[in-house]
Amino acid sequence: MSRTTIQKTKLKVAIILTVLIVMIFGKNILERRNFNELGNSFVSFYEDRLVVESYIFSISEKLFRIKLLVNHCQFESDYSHVVDEISTFESDILNLVKEFEDTKLTIAEAGFLTDFKKIIQENLRIADYQSLYSEESGINADKVKEYNSYIEKAILDLEKLSLIQIEEGKKLATNSEKVVNRSKIWAQFEVAALVILIVIIYLLIYTSRSIKSDFVE
């Protein structure tokens, strides 16, 4: 085997080795990126979906309590504390909304949450409980009906927000699955690349021995 042929062979092998090493190095970079992306998905799923769903549940519970106080106003013997209770529930709801707003919101979420917050702040305030019920005139059916209509609108916003959590959770799960599948593909490539490297190293050793034998002869 001539020296020129040997040099050409070595050059080809060097190029192949370089390409494989670069690809393996690139694979490691992509793996780190995939790992970070997967970690972010888990964090987002917990902080922006599971925690938010707990906010929605707590808000729904407090809203239901308000509705009970409004719809059973005729059974209250002491009206003075009811307004305070409703006000407390509303304040608690707004505090939860504030925490909700601090999470990563989609455009749809921001819209429904803004609408919900507006209902709580502007439409569910009861300055005087007698506007709902008084001993003289009894239940103010129109006012109670109006109040309940706003509560129903607020509940509808919460239901839509809850559906968004499910949809976004599915997206995160799908994205995580894609990341895992990409990692599997790259892992298979890495195994194949290592096999090729072993074969090349074996061929280099074998070729070197053959060349030495030729020179000796």
Beta strands in the chain (DSSP E): 133-134, 138-139
Look at 36-40, 89-93, 109-113 and tell me which has the smallest mean pLDDT: 36-40
pLDDT at 188: 74
Bigger pLDDT: 62 vs 46? 62
Bigger pLDDT: 134 vs 91? 91
The mean pLDDT of 71-78, rounded to a whole number, is 60
Model pTM? 0.62
pLDDT at 85: 83
Q: Into how many domains does the chain fold? A: 1
Contact residues for 164 (Cβ-Cβ < 8 A; gap 6+):
106, 108, 109, 112
pLDDT at 73: 61
Distance between CA atoms of residues 50 and 74, nearest Å? 38
pLDDT at 84: 78
Name residue 118's amino acid.
K
Name residue 201's amino acid.
I
pLDDT at 16: 72
pLDDT at 47: 61
pLDDT at 154: 92
Bigger pLDDT: 128 vs 99? 99
pLDDT at 22: 75
With a pLDDT cut of 70, the percent of the chain lying above it is 69
Contact residues for 30 (Cβ-Cβ < 8 A; gap 6+):
182, 186
Distance between CA atoms of residues 43 and 34, nearest Å? 14
Other C-beta atoms lying within 10 Å of the C-beta of residue 182: 15
pLDDT at 114: 92
pLDDT digits (tens, 9 = 90+) for 155-209: 999 999 988 888 887 777 777 777 777 777 777 777 777 777 777 777 766 666 5
Domain that holds residue 172: 3-216
DSSP H or E run through 197? helix 141-216
pLDDT at 137: 66
> Is the CB of residue 69 less than 8 Å from the CB of residue 124?
no
Confidence of residue 212 (pLDDT cuts 50, 70, 90): very low
Distance between CA atoms of residues 124 and 119, nearest Å? 6
Domain with residue 206: its CATH number is: 1.20.1330.10
pLDDT at 215: 43
From residue 92, how far is each of 10, 19, 99, 119 by CA, in Å? 74, 61, 11, 14
Distance between CA atoms of residues 140 and 128, nearest Å? 12
Residue 62: closest CA among 102, 101, 91 = 91
Distance between CA atoms of residues 94 and 31, nearest Å? 42
From residue 111, how far is each of 49, 60, 62, 215 by CA, in Å? 17, 18, 21, 81
Confidence of residue 96 (pLDDT cuts 50, 70, 90): very high
